Structure 1
């Protein structure tokens, strides 16, 4: 059915569920491109701490974390006999926002579908946190399959975004 599946991940449980869905829908001949987006710490943390060297250390750590996530997902897919590629999307180089970076990667690779985990937040929580999934659904030129989290709903206020792609 799908020959080229784009799988954005961020290390969260929802992106792991999206990975499991890709394993389920992939057929012989399917190629999966796993991507993660690394935000520019300067844009994410305005005037933080002690200066440039600390920001570069944060950026290096985010890039390394992204590479490790990609390698882990690639190995998991390949262990199931699925052809998998990886691409790290660095917003410092690309500019724009996370959904736009994913859309550009999808367009450039000519993905048949994007499979993305989502928390399924509603109301004020969604407005407060924003929604990569919602924005991507609106701008993508190919179908977007959203894999909703099966985590129990919480009434707690969110703390910090999890992972690289937030």
Structure 2
């Protein structure tokens, strides 16, 4: 539910009905019967008809199709490469971010630090408040101050 598996959509948990309370650990396979057919009654309960239209166009997970594989959309062959990631960052066309990124990229920092700084520059770090909203955790309080904040600084 947290992975993107339908082209042109974000992860399915972002499309859940407003009254839906669902386990974050559910998988797409949990919505498929053992014979390979979709569990439409359950899907109708959780998702709008617009999302169901996307789902109906997808093959349900089954052994005949083989195992799931991860694909990197920014590369034609579906494989991750630093070159493709680098190009996709610069296609963002955000001049002030691109300038800062060049300084980080040319620095002798470990890759994980470069990645962390990229997340900070693009405001992609989530505070606990945001993590609860995205159903990634149950604790919304800031671990440092104990407050409920959606401010980026509380993610740092």
> Structure 2 length as normaliser, TM-score?
0.22
Q: Highest Rg: 1 or 2?
A: 2
> Structure 1 length as normaliser, TM-score?
0.22
- Which is strand-richer, 1 or 2? 1
